[in-house]
Amino acid sequence: YVERVASGDVPFQLEHYWSKGTVLRTETVIGGLPVMTIVTATDYIMIDVLSAKGVSIARSPRSIAADKKRGRPFGLEGREVVEVGAEKVSTEKYGVGTCDLYRATNRDGRREVCVAGGEQYLPLYVRTWHRESNKHVSMRYLNWTRDLKIPDSFFQPDPRVELEEIGYEDYLKRADKEPVTPFPVFYQELLHGPREE
C-alpha cells in the first residue's frame, strides 16, 4: 500500500494504491470526484464511485504477459528511470532516512526520482519538467506499507456497481469514436501493455 499526491501544473490528485501480487486497486480523488480502478489478471475496471457505474475492459495479451516481469503494478518510476540510464546525482535526507536521487534529461525534458529500498527502488518523490510546455509536476509517495493481509474480495468491484463489459478489440474501436470510460485510463500499461520503444 502507498498514497501518492500529485501537484504542480496539473490538477491536485490524491491516490491510494493496494496490490496483492500483480492485482491492483486504486482510489483516486480528482476535484472531489472519487474514481476506483481495479486491475485483475484479465480485466481493467474503472468505476465512477458517485454514480456506481463503470466499465470492465478485457486487458490486452501484452499487458497480461508483462505482469510476471513487472511484479508490483505501481510505483515503478525508480526502476524505469534507472533502466533509461539516469544518473545518480546525490543521496538526500528524507524523513528519518535517506533516498538516492536519480536524474534523466532528454529532448523532452527532465525527470528526477528519489528512491529508497535498495533493489526495490521505492520512489519517495518524482519531479518532472516537460521542455515544450514548460510544465512541472511533482508526486510524493507516502506511507509505503508491506505485508498487509488483504482478502481477494477487496480486488473485486462491489456487486451493486453497474458494469459494462467490453472486449479489448471492441474497446479500441469504440475509443476512437467516443469516450468509453468514465475518466481517462490512468494506468495505460496495465490495459495495453508496455510502451514500445
The CA distances from residue 193 to 7, 81, 133, 189, in Å, are: 26, 18, 27, 4
Side by side, the strands of the sheet bearing 33-39 are: 87-94, 97-106, 109-116, 122-130, 135-142, 2-8, 13-20, 23-30, 33-39, 43-48, 53-58, 162-166
DSSP output for 10-55: S--EEEEEEEETTEEEEEEEETTEEEEEEE-SSEEEEEETTTTEEE
Count of CB atoms situated within 10 Å of the CB of 78 = 24
Among 169, 174, 173, 176, CA closest to 191: 169
- Taking only the tens place, the pLDDT of each residue in 102-150 is 999 999 999 999 999 777 889 999 999 999 999 999 999 999 998 899 9
- Taking only the tens place, the pLDDT of each residue in 62-92 is 999 999 888 889 999 998 998 899 999 999 9
pLDDT of residue 117: 72
Structural contact between residues 19 and 12, judged by C-beta atoms closer than 8 angstroms: no
- Taking only the tens place, the pLDDT of each residue in 17-52 is 999 999 999 999 887 889 999 999 999 999 999 999
Structural contact between residues 38 and 161, judged by C-beta atoms closer than 8 angstroms: no
Delineate the domains of the chain, giving CATH numbers in brackets. Answer: 2-192 (2.50.20.10)
Q: For the chain, what percent of residues have pLDDT higher than 70? A: 99
For residue 11, with 0-12 CB atoms within 10 Å meaning exposed, 13-18 middle and 19 or more buried, which class applies?
A: exposed
State how far the Cα of 138 lies from the Cα of 110, in Å rounded to an integer: 12
pLDDT of residue 2: 95
Three-state DSSP state, 188: helix
pLDDT of residue 149: 94
Q: Give the pairing of strands 122-130 and 109-116.
A: antiparallel
The C-alpha cell 482510489 sits at 27
Among 103, 107, 128, 125, CA closest to 116: 125
Tell if the pTM clears 0.85, that is, is over it. yes
User: 19 - beta bridge partners?
Assistant: 24
